[in-house]
Structure 1
Amino acid sequence: MPIFMDRHEIPKEISAEHVAQMHKEDMKIEHLYNCKGMTYWCDEKRHTAFCLIEAPNKEAIQKMHNHAHGDFPHSIIEVDDAIVESFLGRIADPKVSKDTELNIIKDPAFRIIMVISIKKTSFENTMSHQLISDTIAYTNSIIISLEKFRGRIVKQKSDYFLCSFKDISNAVLCALEIQKGVNKTKKQSSSLTLNIGLSAGAPVTEKDSIFEDTIRMAERLCDNVKGQIAMTSEVKDLFESENLKLSIDDKIVKVLNTNSEKFLNMLMDYTENEWYNPTLSAEGLSKHLGYSKSQLYRKMIANTGTSPNTFIKEYRLGKALNLLNKQADNISEVAFKTGFNSPAYFSKCFQETYGILPSKYIQQYI
């Protein structure tokens, strides 16, 4: 049977003990609805609870909860148990809570999500073996820091890490150590850059996937904010409230306030839907986002470090690089698929950005 996770908004006066009692009531009648409660998480501070349940469908879970205690879940999503364990560390009750009369679990499902990206910024005068060597050095440094600060690797590629942290201090200190470690291993001739995005949130919102909003924000910070570490204002506030004698150094870390986060999401929502359209321009961005050209330029420089036109071009080139790596299309096809008006202009932009023509890139790196 499929596995689901649901979200309950609990009143301030409801304690973890009350939630445990509700879970107990579920267990008494779950068989009537062909459900099986696997475990739950309770966050008294944020007034939320999350249940992990094996069930035939969402409706069965709703009926079970309604019968047991009348508390209707606000959201229910289907999940993969391995992914849940990767993010949250367990898919069963903690050992300390087992075999007790009332299974009280004071364990919040709130997590800090870290996305790490290793990007190739240039291929000029750089042999493949050097890029591989540099990437391995970066990766080893990252893994050592993640292990030290108890970060859980949810997903890993050669140039990408998706990680989960239960502790806010560990997440931020890990990001700082990764940055420091990479700077030590970085060579003067290196054509790699490392970026880190940090966001925080709950596993179930109104979206369809676990931690979807939080992952998306961390990825957008990682991909679009210049500087090695970028984080939401919530992550900064949580860290500083937990570490009263420490503060985030804005010379090292870029922190987006709420308005900047909203702007970045609006920008990316539109760009992700229109990047392949050759008519996409700074003027179109300005009109859609509701800013004058000068306002948009200032916003873009402040939040992404690039002008609107450069942002669009770099986004398209990133997509083009992915397509070239797949070897499914020739250079002309890639150019038109990524919104460039001509293969010649695409090749010119590609060379200006990566230091090599796309034809030579294919010969040397694919």
Structure 2
Amino acid sequence: MPIYMDRHDIPEEITAVHVAQMHREDLKIEHLYGCKGMTYWCDEKRRTAFCLIQAPNKKAIQDMHNHAHGEVPHRIIEVEASIVESFLGRIEDPEKSQKTELNIINDPAFRTIMVVGLRKSSFKIMDPNRMIGELIKYNKTILQSIDKFLGRVVRQKSGNFLLSFNSVTNAVLCSQEVFSKLGGVTEDKSPDIQLSIGLHVGVPVTEKDGIFEDTIKLAERFCTMAHGKIVLSQEVKELYESENLNVKLSHKNIKTLSVGEEKFVNQLMDYTEKEWTNAAFNSDHFSKNLGYSKSQLYRKMIGLTGKSPNSFIRDYRLTKALDLLDKKVNNISEIAFGTGFNSPAYFSKCFMDNFGILPSKYVQNYAE
């Protein structure tokens, strides 16, 4: 039977006790609708509650809630139990903390999402076997820090980590430790590998269809644009400083984006993801569709990414091409045209200029 998570935006007068009572009422009549309540999360501070329920469909959940207490959910999405557990740490009620009839759960589902990326940025120095060995070593170091700061690994693949933390402070400290251990190493000893980290915060159910979809997307975009830094949302910075008695979060490798910059990142990436395979796509399209003059766009791009608009487009395409070469599904010509390059020869030149190796040699020696 499918598993769903719903979100309730709870009024000011509703407390964790009230939510526990409503959950109990759900359990009394759930069998009438073919449902099985697994657990829930309640956040009095942010006025939200999330229920995890096995059900035949979304309507059964709405009808059950309406019958039990009248508080119908504002949004319902389908989820996988294993993914929910990876993000939130449980898929059943925690044991009662007190000997009371009612199991009151005041446990927020609000999480800090961290994306860590180890990118193969060049192949000029390191031979294939050494690069593989270094990546394995770096992955181990990252996992040790995740464990130390009570993070949970949601996804790990090819030097990329998607992580969930209950605590904003732990997430930020983890990112700083990883960077202190590996940031200098990748710059000095392994300049062919670049470490980037993005952090954002959010709740599991929004208007999107996927769990934590909005939060993950922005953290991934921060990581994509970080280029050897830790990039935080404004909300992460403010929460960290409030949790640490207003200790200012300042580090040479940390960049905090303003709300306006976050909006620009989303505009930029939304348009890039839509148009990057179009060979005609260039900085003029950026200016026209994002509503900036060429000089304004150039300044914003340099400030956020360290790259001009055309360099950003080229590097984005090359990174996508690198991923496709790793998969070994298409030949080099197909990948060249599929990633927006006008010809295989021009693609090979750009690839060589950027990574220090021809695509054919990369496939032969480095492709995973």
SS in 1 for 2:46: coil
Q: Contact 1:114–1:197 (CA<8 Å) still a contact in 2? A: yes
Matches of residues 146-225 of structure 1 in structure 2 within 5 Å? 146-183=146-183, 185-186=185-186, 187-225=188-226
Q: Contact 1:42–1:107 (CA<8 Å) still a contact in 2? A: yes
Alpha-carbon distance in 1 for matches of 2:125, 2:225? 26
The TM-score, its normalising length taken from structure 2, stands at 0.97
Aligned to 1:310: 311
Alpha-carbon distance in 2 for matches of 1:340, 1:129? 30
Alpha-carbon distance in 2 for matches of 1:322, 1:227? 19
Alpha-carbon distance in 2 for matches of 1:7, 1:86? 19
Aligned to 2:5: 5
Q: Contact 1:137–1:185 (CA<8 Å) still a contact in 2? A: no
Alpha-carbon distance in 1 for matches of 2:36, 2:9? 21
User: Letter of the aligned partner of 1:102 in structure 2?
Assistant: L
Alpha-carbon distance in 2 for matches of 1:262, 1:243? 27
How big is the shift at 1:181?
Answer: 1.1
Alpha-carbon distance in 1 for matches of 2:307, 2:283? 12
Deviations 1:109-167 (A, max 9, x none): 00000100000110113211111121122111101111100000111113111110001
The TM-score, its normalising length taken from structure 1, stands at 0.97
SS in 2 for 1:8: strand
Stretches of structure 2 lacking an aligned partner (at least 5 in a row): none
Alpha-carbon distance in 2 for matches of 1:321, 1:327? 10
How big is the shift at 1:251?
Answer: 2.1
Q: Contact 2:194–2:227 (CA<8 Å) still a contact in 1? A: no
Aligned to 1:289: 290
Alpha-carbon distance in 2 for matches of 1:72, 1:125? 60
The 4+ residue runs of structure 1 with deviation greater than 6 A are none
Alpha-carbon distance in 1 for matches of 2:364, 2:31? 61
Aligned to 2:116: 116
Alpha-carbon distance in 1 for matches of 2:358, 2:350? 9
Q: Percent identity?
A: 61
Q: Contact 2:109–2:203 (CA<8 Å) still a contact in 1? A: yes
Aligned to 2:257: 256
User: Letter of the aligned partner of 1:24 in structure 2?
Assistant: R
User: Letter of the aligned partner of 1:142 in structure 2?
Assistant: I
Aligned to 2:96: 96
Aligned to 1:267: 268
Alpha-carbon distance in 2 for matches of 1:181, 1:134? 13
SS in 1 for 2:267: helix
SS in 1 for 2:96: helix
Alpha-carbon distance in 1 for matches of 2:226, 2:197? 9
Stretches of structure 1 lacking an aligned partner (at least 5 in a row): none
Aligned to 2:132: 132
